[in-house]
Amino acid sequence: MISGAKNVFLFAIMAALVVFVGQYQSWNLSLSILNLCLISAIMSLGVNIQWGYAGLFNVGIMGFAAMGGLAAMLISVSPVPEAWAAGGVGVIIGLFILIATVLAAMFSYRKMAKSPMRTFLIVLISVIGYFILRSVVDPATGAIEKVNPASTGYLGGLGLPIILAWPVGGLFAGAVAWVVGKITLGLRTDYLAIATLGISEIIVAVLKHEDWLTRGVKNVTGLPRPVPYEIELQKSEWFLSLSQRFNADPVTFSSIFVKLCYAGLFTVVLLIVLWLSEKALRSPWGRMMRAIRDNEVSANAMGKDIKARHLQVFVLGSIVVGIAGAMLTTLDGQLTPSTYQPLRFTFLIWVMVIVGGSGNNWGAVLGGFVIWFFWIEAEPLGLWFMDVITSGMAEDSSLKAHLIESAAHMRLMTMGLILLLTLRFSPRGLIPEKVGRH
């Protein structure tokens, strides 16, 4: 039970750090760090399912998170009837043409024998389908984007409660993962890495440039919230008496209260995902996945369909990442496609998983907390560090100005160093995977 005590101790330190920030910086900051820690923990659980259980290297986490973000927007904002009237029909016909093209291409792939003729036919079908699609969709999207471009200029969403978007975001991400996995799994691991890197860039490019769908870089702001608004809280009777009981300023307390509501929701999701992941890991299915990861050849000899299992686990992990992506957009209250950066959304999550402990769900959760905490706190720490280093220099020294100005870039270097040091000296992470009997 020594390792159990150590793990509790690690989580206790983490909790103490959050409390410390709350006490000495502010509770608002501490809670917003905590909320993002919770989301990061879910994302790193998703990556851990792919990497820790099955050894799949996915560098497209940003894209799957962005699919979640897209779902949050599409589910929650109200539809724009003028835009639907202007181009809705065209877009829907376009969708059917797309489906028909894909089906036709798949049909000829299945039904014909492998030959240059088949390849040619598939290319021909795709090209013709693409041109018909463009000729139908282009005028429609153009018309949609002209509808009051300053405030709408897009189709809008379904106007449903945003909580619904969390599972839907998972579905979106899972669907993309299925397509990518279908093509690249079974080839070298590097190819999956490159392909996921590519698909994530494309997804973000689509979000940035398809204005009729997402308003592009004009952003969709003011997504409805699953929790009360500060202004309404400050007006309501029960809230004022509550804040009086805690002897707190209603304005500050309302924003803390809202953050606590989010934290509650996120914790519930985290616990559900964690519980399911643990169940899966300890089930025969989990043992099979680890057997495949550790020795593909012998698992194959035992009759396990490696490609199908890999596809399954890849889709499952991406679903979890998609859910977390939807939650993140819900927390932000806006869809801002330009904020999707690979370093922040893909590689940082990787650092979380590796540092936390690949293959161990609790490790992934702890990694999400620790790394996000330091990602945020690295900036004040870096600034402080630079101040100390440069304290001996002259006030007007240009080197000093440069060093202090560049302190913000320290965090990338720090994260890289943490990743390299963990990989080298403690490759199994803070909470290592348990091997042996379960």
Partner 1 sequence: MTEILNALALFSNFVLVPAIAYGSQLALGALGVTLVFGILRFSNFAHGDTMAFGTMLVILVTWWFQSLGLSLGPLPTALLALPFGIAGCAAFVLLSDRLVYKYYRKKKADPIIYLIASVGVMFVTNGVVRFIIGPDDQNFADGERFIIKARDFKTMTGLSEGISIKVSQGLTVVTMIIVVAALFWFLNKTRTGKSMRAYSDNEDLALLSGINPDKVVAVTWILAAALATIAGTLYGLDKSFKPFTYFQLLLPIFASAIVGGLGNPLGAIAGAFVIAFSEIMITYAYKRFAGYILPEDWVSGGLLQLLSTDYKFAVSFIILLLVLLFRPTGIFKGTGV
Contact between 124 and partner 1 by CB under 8 A: the answer reads: no
Per-residue interface string for the shown chain with partner 1, residues 199-238, x marking contact by CB under 8 A = x-xx--xx-xx-----------------------------
- Nearest distance from residue 159's CB to partner 1, in Å? 29
Residue 59 or 313 having the CB closest to partner 1: 59
Stretch 40-69 residues interacting with partner 1 (CB under 8 A):
55, 57, 59
Contact between 347 and partner 1 by CB under 8 A: the answer reads: yes
Each as own residue / partner, the long-range contacts of residues 407-414 (CB below 8 Å, 24 or more positions apart, any chain) are: 407/379, 407/382, 407/383, 408/379, 408/382, 410/378, 410/379, 410/382, 410/385, 410/386, 411/375, 411/378, 411/379, 411/382, 412/343, 414/374, 414/378, 414/382
DSSP assignment of 254-300, as one string? Answer: HHHHHHHHHHHHHHHHHHHHHHHHHHHHHSHHHHHHHHHHH-HHHHH
- Nearest distance from residue 124's CB to partner 1, in Å? 14
Q: State both tokens at 131.
A: 């041109």
- Nearest distance from residue 411's CB to partner 1, in Å? 8
Each as own residue / partner, the long-range contacts of residues 123-132 (CB below 8 Å, 24 or more positions apart, any chain) are: 125/101, 126/101, 128/101, 129/97, 129/98, 129/100, 129/101, 129/102, 129/104, 129/105, 130/101, 132/97, 132/101
Contact between 374 and partner 1 by CB under 8 A: the answer reads: no
The DSSP secondary-structure symbol of 217 reads G
> Which of 22, 198, 224, 333 is in the footprint of partner 1 by CB under 8 A?
198
First to last CA, the chain: 14
- β-strand partners of 187: 185
Contact between 415 and partner 1 by CB under 8 A: the answer reads: yes
Q: Which stretch binds partner 1 (CB under 8 A): 191-199, 244-252, 268-276, 332-340?
A: 191-199
Residue 75 or 321 having the CB closest to partner 1: 321
Three-state DSSP at 347 gives helix
Residue 138 or 232 having the CB closest to partner 1: 138
Contact between 342 and partner 1 by CB under 8 A: the answer reads: yes
Helices (H), 60-147: 61-76, 81-83, 89-111, 116-146
Q: State both tokens at 252.
A: 């500050």
Are 145 and 153 in contact, with CB atoms under 8 Å apart?
Answer: yes
Per-residue interface string for the shown chain with partner 1, residues 135-174, x marking contact by CB under 8 A = ---x------------------------------------
Q: Which stretch binds partner 1 (CB under 8 A): 26-34, 184-192, 249-257, 283-291?
A: 184-192
Contact between 409 and partner 1 by CB under 8 A: the answer reads: yes
Nearest CA-CA partner of 277 in 354, 361, 349, 369: 361
Q: What angle do CA 195, 327, 417 make, to 5 degrees?
A: 55
Residue 130 or 229 having the CB closest to partner 1: 130
Q: Which stretch binds partner 1 (CB under 8 A): 186-194, 231-239, 245-253, 363-371?
A: 186-194
Contact between 350 and partner 1 by CB under 8 A: the answer reads: yes
CA 6/CA 259 separation, integer angstroms: 30
Sign of CA dihedral 359, 361, 363, 369: positive
Residue 110 or 424 having the CB closest to partner 1: 424
Q: Which helix (H) or strand (E) holds 383?
A: helix 361-390
> Which of 184, 277, 329, 360 is in the footprint of partner 1 by CB under 8 A?
184
CA 52/CA 34 separation, integer angstroms: 24
Contact between 414 and partner 1 by CB under 8 A: the answer reads: yes
> Which of 236, 406, 426, 435 is in the footprint of partner 1 by CB under 8 A?
406
> Which of 19, 103, 194, 308 is in the footprint of partner 1 by CB under 8 A?
194
Residue 200 or 254 having the CB closest to partner 1: 200
Residue 39 or 419 having the CB closest to partner 1: 419
Write out the residues near partner 1 by the rule CB under 8 A.
55, 57, 59, 119, 138, 183-184, 187-191, 193-195, 197-199, 201-202, 205-206, 208-209, 342-343, 347, 350-351, 354, 406, 409-417, 419-420, 423-424, 427
